[in-house]
Amino acid sequence: MSSRGGESKEGVFLMAVKLFIGGLSFSSSSQRLQETFARFGSVESASVVTDRDSGRSRGFGFVEMATADEANAAVAGLDGAELDGRRIKVELAKPSGADAGAQRRRSGGGWSGARR
């Protein structure tokens, strides 16, 4: 099944659920994320975000789990756990790009900084 979603045998549309992983060791790899999260279900993708100039890890990454149940199990099982010597933060990823802007507009959110 593609990470963009697909149709199950029962005809129900399934969509992968993206998780944000923070606090990663600079030595953590995408393969390590894949292996760690696989105990909770089917990992559609796993990636450590790297600096485009240096190629060094930026200390966070994303994992897409096949179902919401698997994603919730991974959050419950790994949030606050130790991975490669660091305590990690695991949570549902927030929408990015156009999705985030649309969500802010719907919720009345936006810039919350001090005004001069």
**Full set of structural domains in the chain with CATH:** 12-107 (3.30.70.330)
- DSSP H/E element including 74: helix 68-78
- The better pLDDT of the pair 42, 12 is held by 42
108: tokens are 């009345």
Q: CB neighbours (10 Å) of residue 74?
A: 23
pLDDT for the residue 28: 95
- At 47-83, the pLDDT tens digits run 999 999 999 999 999 999 999 999 999 999 999 999 9
Cβ-contact 57, 28 below 8 angstroms: yes
* Residues 6+ positions from 19 with CB-CB distance below 8 Å: 37, 62, 63, 64, 65, 71, 74, 75, 90, 91, 92, 93
State the pLDDT confidence band at 116, using cuts at 50, 70 and 90. Answer: very low
